[in-house]
Amino acid sequence: MAKLKIHPSVDDGVKPGTKGFKGGTLTCKCSSNPVTVTLASDVAFNHACGCSKCWKPAGAVFSVVAVLPRDKVSVTANGNKLKIVDATATIQRHACTGCGVHMYGRIEKKDHPFYGFDFVHPELSRDKGWAAPEFAAFVSSIIETGGAKPGEMGAVRARLKELKLEPYDCLNPALMDMISTHVAKQKGVLAA
């Protein structure tokens, strides 16, 4: 029986990152004048994401997305081809108008717990060494996106665990703690 496909970058196993990795470039899928985004550090919280908003390559049920500080992200070629996919979304996803690939997502609301982080797809890089995916988020959302039937979810979660990507139907505990800490500080429940 064929293994359940999750995403091309993890289907053959999650590849470990390189300690001390310093970053690299992401390139869209356009054959001419591609958009290039330079990342001046490694990524964090790399994960498989089942949400309906994240860009996924053809045939993938999940996206693979990570974060890094927004001051480490710069558009270095053909930025004129970028357009925000949905101006009403919390994460402003900047996509190439030529190929549709999401190059980075940015949160502009300063009171959001993840303000200051940009969301990127490390698979768009030819550079090797990015921090490896660590978990899977919003797993149940693949039912909404047409990627799975409810009866298949046990097999999906089993495959994620086989890949050592702990499945969550929200974010992983560390990120959920970050959100709760941010909200508690805003409310004055927790000292800043």
From 49, 96, 99, 170, the catalytic residue: 49
Nearest to residue 133, comparing CAs of 91, 179, 172? 172
- Tell me, yes or no, if 51 is annotated catalytic: yes
Question: In 3-state terms, what secondary structure has residue 176?
Answer: helix
| Identified catalytic residue from 28, 54, 96, 170 | 54
Told to judge if 28 belongs to the known catalytic residues of this protein, a careful annotator would answer no
Q: Rounded to an integer, what distance in angstroms lies between the CA atom of residue 164 and that of residue 30?
A: 32
Answer yes or no: 96 catalytic.
no
> From the CB of residue 46, how many other CB atoms can be counted at a distance below 10 Å?
25
Task: Count the neighbouring beta carbons within 10 Å of the beta carbon of residue 97.
Answer: 12
User: Which tokens hold the place of 170?
Assistant: 């929200």
The catalytically annotated residue of 51, 96, 99, 170 is 51
Both tokens of 139, joined, read 């797993």
* Neighbour tally for 76: CB within 10 Å: 11
C-alpha 55/C-alpha 49 separation (Å) is 10
Element (H, E) at 48: strand 44-49
* Residues tagged active-site: 49, 51, 54
